Amino acid sequence: MPIQGRWALAEWYPAGARERLEALEKGKSKKTKKRAKGKKSAEKKAKDTAPRVQTDQPKKLTEEQVARIKVLHAAGKKAGEIAKETGVHVFNVTRILKAEMPKPAPENAKAQG
């Protein structure tokens, strides 16, 4: 008799627990009715089959956009604020800011020098 996903002897468990499990097993043996699938509305069908719309943004950032991002970051703005202000996705803003961050010195150079 399976109890909580494991097999065990039915005698090991109280009568109440056995009765509940037996009742559950009887309920499972009945066939469940399949639900009829709802028809998709014409609006949803059109939406599913419509081609994806390209955004207005170019694939590469312009030099002016990059410069503006750097200026706003230097002014203390956060990446999300810069993204809203410049119209550039926040991932692109963080990519530009990470590229501008100075690389840390190697640990070996600090210990020796």
Number of domains in the chain: 2
7 within domain boundaries: yes
23 within domain boundaries: yes
Could you list the residue range(s) of the whole structural domain that residue 71 is in? 63-100
51 within domain boundaries: no
Q: Are 70 and 96 in contact (CB under 8 A)?
A: yes
Q: Which residues contact 1 (CB under 8 A, 6 or more apart)?
A: 7, 8, 9, 10, 13, 18, 21
Rounded CA gap, 80 and 85, in Å? Answer: 9
57 within domain boundaries: no
11 within domain boundaries: yes
Where is pLDDT greater, at 57 or 71?
71
Where is pLDDT greater, at 75 or 27?
75
Share of the chain above pLDDT 90, in %: 30
9 within domain boundaries: yes
What secondary structure, in 3-state letters, does 97-112 show?
A: HHHHCCCCCCHHHHHH
